[in-house]
Amino acid sequence: MSESKIYPVPPAIAATAHINQARYQQLYQQSVKDPDGFWAEQAQEFVTWFQPWTRVLDYNYGPDEVYIRWFEGGKLNVAYNCLDRHLEKRGDQVAIVWESDDPNVDRRLTYRELHTEVCKLANVLKSRGVNKGDRVCIYMPMIPEAAVAMLACARIGAVHSVVFGGFSPDSLRDRILDSDCRVLITADEGVRGGRHVPLKKNADHAMAECPDVTTCLVVKRTGNAVEWRDGRDIWYHDAMAGASDQCAAEPMDAEDPLFILYTSGSTGKPKGVLHTTGGYLVFAAMTHRYSFDYQDGEMYWCTADVGWVTGHTYIVYGPLANGAKSLMFEGIPNYPDMSRFWQVVDKHQVNIFYTAPTAIRALMRAGEAPVKQTSRASLRILGSVGEPINPEAWEWYYHVVGDGRCPIADTWWQTETGGHLITPLPGATPLKPGSATQPFFGVVPALVDATDGTPIAGAGEGALVITRPWPGQMRTVYGDHQRFIDTYFKQYPGYYFSGDGARRDNDGDYWITGRIDDVLNVSGHRLGTAEIESALVLHSAVAEAAVVGYPHDIKGQGIYAYVTVMAGITQTDELKRELVQLVRNEIGAIATVDIIQWAPSLPKTRSGKIMRRILRKIAANEISTLGDTSTLADPTVVEELIAHRANQ
Ligand code: WTA
């Protein structure tokens, strides 16, 4: 295995880091030799408890029964930890810096101001009948009120379900119904790249089929006209005006649910990943401080949307639990121009910057000039998340954006994991471009043979599994515990299976190779092939569809759909456009099909199973390595597809 360049830890970073190389080794050893002792210490250090726990960890990793319980008996409140406990020391320090889509508009909220807003909204929610354990849906643009809404739920023990503002009305409806949300918090419109996103209108469409939603709180972002249903729809500012700013934080059990976040899997509809209170918060705070070496007073910016797990853990909960200054950005990297990210870095003196490879690749295309016209001298640490970062993009990020000074934390994790599982620590880990390197404290990854599950020792490649729980791990699929067991604990008994493949080199560093299930990663966003296929077959002209990913320069993966039409239907470009639009309407703009190939039929085994492996190879133009096609019912299908492969 040839190893690429190694970038040693910069001495200046190591000198002041929370964790240096020796400390990493020592703490990691402790974390695996004495997990209970280790996690008890961390839970004390990072979280303020109303009542201590009686047991650190109780778990069963299956195969039949799966449960994971951390810090049982402990009582705490997440909003209290993110706000109240900071008031004395840093009440007047900024908590959230909001940079709007418009470069001339920003806003700052101190910890005290944020606390006041959260208490008020918590009272508003209570007045609308929201009780502990009830689910509240949040469908918001990137404005501070999104964080206020999450924290207000946490304060009263309601369970939030944030739905990304880019999702369609149908996607929103499905999520509201699945977790039976009775209250929806949204905005009139969102603003991105100068364009308005009709959130309330989408919400109206969704709510038309959600009769149990009794309250829709609407933040006025743009002030444009929206439809209104009296009694149900309430302006956020009106409700807040009359609300008391006194609201005690509800003492929650460590294992009480904190939030649900829907994510795509390889089969069926997106599943509601459920995270609980104590373990999640400990893990969010700890990973935020150590993975980014967050130092008190630093300005930290994660460019994710709060609609994704990265926004939950690394814009809201982790940073605020640590009393950090967290920047929230409403806009996009290329508006008004390709220099925007770096202008924001200079404007707010950002020290730690965390983004996705897809953004890096898009910016890289525009060349160095938009970067180099800014200073970026405040930057100290860079981060990457969401998909494997290709070495070329890594080097550009490191040398051009970071001027060769700033370590890159390539953080591997998932919605299910709550926080980072494999990542370098800036003061401790030598970097290799493209490698997520080493496990975080308490995380014991392993590789197993993807086909037969045999453990792989030393260097090798296989399915990436985790051998024991960490506090940020999801606890169940909301409303479907069996699906939780089947998805994560069945295929490789005794392990949590991530769905990713990885390679481990001779130094024990991990290189994530990407999903090995039927999940796509498009611009860092997860999409299930099954979801897209279900949308395609809704069209009356479509008989069958199979969707795979293919390598895409900017998006990482593009969406390639093989579509078989009904007898007598003409295969036109017009129909292709209709299908693309149909999928966007069903799921959202992130699910824009890049390529449609008409397929007279699909390659299937004799038992009727579509052989996606072959479809992936054709889409990627790797036809010389198709592999064994002898099990196909009709091998000529493949030749036909190759002959008419769509141009890319
Ligand atoms: C991928 C996002 C390589 C991976 C936090 C995972 C990565 C999926 C990395 C989870 C990384 C995330 N290197 N691949 N640093 N980070 N992934 O649930 O395939 O939206 O399974 O969580 O993204 O996506 P999710």
Rounded to an integer, what distance in angstroms lies between the CA atom of residue 558 and that of residue 546?
14
Mind listing the pLDDT tens digit for each residue in 13-46?
999 999 999 999 999 999 999 999 999 999 999 9
pLDDT score of 648 more than 70: no
Alpha helix positions (H), 264-385: 278-291, 309-311, 318-321, 340-348, 357-365, 369-372
pLDDT score of 199 more than 80: yes
388 lines ligand 1 (CB under 6 A): yes
355 CA distance to ligand 1 middle (Å):
12
3-state class (DSSP) for residue 241: helix
Atom of ligand 1 nearest to the CA of 498: 21
What is each CA distance from 41 to 45, 46, 47, 91, 204, in whole angstroms?
A: 6, 9, 10, 26, 48
Mind listing the pLDDT tens digit for each residue in 183-194?
999 999 999 999
Q: Which two tokens stand for residue 110?
A: 């101190």
CA angle 173, 174, 178 (to 5 degrees): 120
Which residue do the tokens 């150590």 mark? 290
Residue 413 in marked binding region:
yes
Label residue 647 by pLDDT band (50, 70, 90): low
pLDDT score of 1 more than 60: no
pLDDT given at position 3: 54
Mind listing the pLDDT tens digit for each residue in 359-382?
999 999 999 999 999 999 999 999
513 lines ligand 1 (CB under 6 A): no
**Short-list 183, 235, 173, CA closest to 204:** 173
Alpha helix positions (H), 208-338: 236-241, 278-291, 309-311, 318-321
526 lines ligand 1 (CB under 6 A): yes
Q: How many CA atoms lie within 13 A of 105 on its CB side?
A: 9
CB atoms within 10 A of CB 239: 19
pLDDT given at position 628: 83
Rounded to an integer, what distance in angstroms lies between the CA atom of residue 447 and that of residue 460?
8
Atom of ligand 1 nearest to the CA of 525: 20
The residues, any chain, with a CB within 8 Å of residue 469's CB and separated by 6 or more, are 57, 59, 61, 68, 70, 496
Strands (E), 193-235: 195-197, 215-219, 233-235
How is residue 277 annotated by DSSP?
Answer: S
Backbone dihedral angles phi then psi of residue 598, each to the nearest 5 degrees: -70, 130
221 CA distance to ligand 1 middle (Å):
31
pLDDT score of 178 more than 50: yes
Backbone dihedral angles phi then psi of residue 540, each to the nearest 5 degrees: -65, -20
DSSP 604-630: BBTTS-B-HHHHHHHHTT-GGG----T
Mind listing the pLDDT tens digit for each residue in 316-374?
999 999 999 999 999 999 999 999 999 999 999 999 999 999 999 999 999 999 999 99
413 lines ligand 1 (CB under 6 A): yes
**Short-list 526, 133, 647, 626, CA closest to 639:** 626
**Short-list 9, 307, 45, CA closest to 172:** 307
Rounded to an integer, what distance in angstroms lies between the CA atom of residue 407 and that of residue 427?
8
- Fold matches, 82-96+105-253 and 519-644: no
Label residue 626 by pLDDT band (50, 70, 90): confident
136 CA distance to ligand 1 middle (Å):
26
pLDDT given at position 63: 85
Rounded to an integer, what distance in angstroms lies between the CA atom of residue 436 and that of residue 424?
6
Residue 415 in marked binding region:
yes
CB atoms within 10 A of CB 338: 17
* DSSP percent split of the chain into helix, strand, coil, nearest 5: 35, 25, 40
Query: What is the model's pTM?
Result: 0.97
310 lines ligand 1 (CB under 6 A): yes
**Dihedral angle over CA of 69, 271, 277, 254, nearest 10:** -30
Residue 450 and residue 436 in contact, taking contact as beta carbons nearer than 8 Å: no
pLDDT score of 158 more than 90: yes
Label residue 467 by pLDDT band (50, 70, 90): very high
pLDDT score of 631 more than 90: no
pLDDT given at position 608: 87
Name the residue of 164, 412, 421, 423 whose CB sits within 8 Å of the most ligand 1 atoms, as the mutation to test its pocket: 412
pLDDT score of 572 more than 80: yes
What is each CA distance from 426 to 289, 324, 354, 440, in whole angstroms?
A: 11, 18, 13, 12
- Considering only the C-alpha atoms of the chain, give the largest distance between any 2 of them, rounded to a whole number of Å: 73
Label residue 266 by pLDDT band (50, 70, 90): confident
Tell me which residue has its CA closest to atom 12 in ligand 1.
386
The residues, any chain, with a CB within 8 Å of residue 150's CB and separated by 6 or more, are 138, 160, 162, 259, 306, 312, 316
CB atoms within 10 A of CB 164: 20
Name the residue of 387, 487, 498, 525 whose CB sits within 8 Å of the most ligand 1 atoms, as the mutation to test its pocket: 387
CB atoms within 10 A of CB 257: 22
Atom of ligand 1 nearest to the CA of 263: 18
What is each CA distance from 583 to 371, 530, 538, in whole angstroms?
A: 35, 12, 9
Which residue do the tokens 């469409």 mark? 205
Tell me which residue has its CA closest to atom 6 in ligand 1.
414
Q: What is the mean pLDDT of the chain?
A: 97
Query: Strand 271-276 vs strand 257-263: parallel, antiparallel, or unpaired?
Result: antiparallel
237 CA distance to ligand 1 middle (Å):
37
305 lines ligand 1 (CB under 6 A): no
**Dihedral angle over CA of 330, 383, 443, 425, nearest 10:** -140
Q: Which two tokens stand for residue 55?
A: 């047991």
Atom of ligand 1 nearest to the CA of 415: 18
Rounded to an integer, what distance in angstroms lies between the CA atom of residue 2 and that of residue 564?
43
231: alpha, beta or left? (left if phi > 0; alpha if psi -120 to 50): left
Residue 405 in marked binding region:
no
Fold of 82-96+105-253: Rossmann fold (3.40.50)
Mind listing the pLDDT tens digit for each residue in 379-405?
999 999 999 999 999 999 999 999 999
Name the residue of 431, 526, 527, 555 whose CB sits within 8 Å of the most ligand 1 atoms, as the mutation to test its pocket: 526
Return the CATH architecture of domain 519-644.
2-Layer Sandwich (3.30)
Residue 340 in marked binding region:
no
**Short-list 152, 151, 162, CA closest to 184:** 162
Residue 411 in marked binding region:
yes
413 CA distance to ligand 1 middle (Å):
5
Residue 355 in marked binding region:
no
Atom of ligand 1 nearest to the CA of 422: 15
How is residue 416 annotated by DSSP?
Answer: G
Residue 564 and residue 542 in contact, taking contact as beta carbons nearer than 8 Å: yes
Residue 387 in marked binding region:
yes
Rounded to an integer, what distance in angstroms lies between the CA atom of residue 10 and that of residue 639?
54
Tell me which residue has its CA closest to atom 22 in ligand 1.
414
Residue 359 and residue 389 in contact, taking contact as beta carbons nearer than 8 Å: no
**Short-list 263, 262, 260, CA closest to 274:** 260
The rounded Cα 613 to chain-centroid distance in angstroms is 26
322 lines ligand 1 (CB under 6 A): no
Rounded to an integer, what distance in angstroms lies between the CA atom of residue 442 and that of residue 421?
9
Name the residue of 397, 512, 522 whose CB sits within 8 Å of the most ligand 1 atoms, as the mutation to test its pocket: 512
Which residue do the tokens 């498009």 mark? 522
Tell me which residue has its CA closest to atom 15 in ligand 1.
412
Listed by start position, the domains of the chain span 82-96+105-253, 519-644
Total residues belonging to the chain: 648
Rounded to an integer, what distance in angstroms lies between the CA atom of residue 356 and that of residue 339?
16
Question: 385-409 in b/e burial notation, b at 16+ Cβ within 10 A?
Answer: bbbbbbeebbbbbbebbbeebbbbb
In the predicted model, what is the mean pLDDT of residues 520-528?
Answer: 95
Q: What percent of the chain has pLDDT over 70?
A: 99
What is each CA distance from 82 to 91, 137, 179, 629, in whole angstroms?
A: 12, 21, 25, 56
265 lines ligand 1 (CB under 6 A): no
Residue 526 in marked binding region:
yes
300 CA distance to ligand 1 middle (Å):
21
Residue 192 in marked binding region:
yes
266 CA distance to ligand 1 middle (Å):
15
Backbone dihedral angles phi then psi of residue 609, each to the nearest 5 degrees: -85, 130
Residue 173 in marked binding region:
no
Is the peptide bond between 144 and the residue preceding it cis, with omega within 30 degrees of 0? no
Residue 334 in marked binding region:
yes
